[in-house]
């Protein structure tokens, strides 16, 4: 998430009430999670296991809960609770704004686009030309929708990320300040949910078609001309290549990459990155050749046990 203008390090420290290490006028341009940071961004880290990764990332400002040696060319914001203070920045720069109308006055809706009754279109939403938004669709603030997009009834675009920190009193949610971006010629079925990015974009690229009852998590990128069947669940921060086919009830864990032209059969569980141009199935998902060998070997177990018994 980029700020509306560059800020000084001392100004950001004042917003969250933290100490800082580095020049008071050090430039700050935005804030992002570690997998999408760029120079000028703030990244937060609150566990020693990840200090090194954050300090060596592309981010030039590190929000951290311990005063450490500051890498050359970077700055630190030292806070007792970086998670809390990252949320403070999200609230400051991307605050929730209530709405009293079904379609916000700040929404931009393209030529020949049809919005059926009982839809909600939030602040700063952009919808392109020749789209059809069926009844009871909710499009949260800042969502971007391209041309020739069809969205069926009951779908929600822009819900908050399922991202929590466990505390003694319960779970504390990391606030979402990102967006959902739907490119041209995308089709989205009924009762789908696509969560916005925590600080960046959840993106569905052009030509992709999504069936009913599909969940797509925060900051995930779905490539061009993919097919995703009903009841698929995709966690956050997944990168899916182009022309991937995912059949019904597949579950995909967070932070992995699925290569171009992959096919994943129904009910598979994907727990690691998958190489493209292959067909996978099973739990955990493996390529067909490997999985069929496993099944063939399992079928031989009764015969092996019988032979062992005869030798005794």
The encoded tokens of residue 237 equal 């921060």
- Per the residue annotation, which of 47, 134, 218, 279 is the catalytic one? 218
Q: Residue 311 corresponds to which tokens in the numbers above? A: 């030798």
CA-to-CA dists, residue 206 to 47, 186, 237, 243, angstroms: 38, 6, 19, 11
Query: Is 152 marked active-site?
Result: no
**Contacts by 177-180, CB closer than 8 A, 24 or more apart:** 177/1, 177/31, 177/90, 177/93, 177/94, 178/1, 178/202, 178/218, 178/219, 179/142, 179/143, 179/144, 180/140, 180/143, 180/144, 180/204
d(CA 161, CA 305): 50
Torsion over CA: 156, 35, 230, 183 (sign): positive
Which residues belong to the active site? 218
């Amino acid at each position: 998430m980029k700020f509306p203008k560059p800020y000084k390090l001392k100004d950001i420290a004042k917003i969250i009430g933290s100490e800082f290490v580095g020049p008071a006028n050090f430039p700050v341009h935005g804030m992002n999670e570690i997998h999408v940071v760029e120079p000028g961004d703030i990244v937060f880290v609150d566990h020693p296991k990840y200090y090194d990764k954050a300090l060596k990332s592309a981010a030039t400002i590190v929000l951290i809960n311990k005063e450490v040696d500051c890498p050359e060319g970077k700055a630190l914001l030292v806070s007792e609770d970086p998670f809390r203070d990252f949320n403070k920045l999200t609230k400051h720069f991307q605050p929730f704004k209530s709405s009293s109308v079904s379609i916000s006055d700040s929404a931009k809706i393209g030529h020949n686009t049809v919005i059926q009754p009982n839809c909600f279109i939030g602040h700063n939403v952009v919808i392109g030309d020749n789209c059809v938004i069926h009844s009871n669709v909710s499009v949260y603030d800042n969502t971007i929708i391209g041309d020739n997009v069809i969205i069926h009834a009951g779908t929600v675009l822009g819900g908050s990320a399922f991202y929590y920190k466990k505390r003694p009193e319960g779970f504390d949610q990391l606030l979402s300040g990102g967006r959902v971006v739907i490119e041209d010629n995308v089709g989205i079925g009924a009762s789908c949910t696509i969560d916005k990015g925590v600080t960046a974009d959840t993106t569905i690229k052009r030509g992709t078609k999504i069936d009913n009852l599909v969940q797509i998590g925060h900051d995930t990128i779905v490539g061009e001309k993919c097919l995703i069947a009903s009841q698929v669940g995709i966690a956050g921060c997944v990168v899916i290549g182009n022309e991937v086919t995912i059949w019904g009830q597949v579950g995909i864990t967070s932070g992995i990459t699925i290569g171009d032209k992959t096919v994943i059969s129904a009910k598979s569980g994907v727990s690691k990155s998958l190489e493209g141009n292959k067909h996978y199935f099973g739990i955990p998902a493996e390529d067909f050749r490997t999985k069929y060998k496993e099944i063939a070997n399992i079928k031989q177990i009764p015969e092996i046990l019988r032979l062992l018994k005869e030798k005794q």
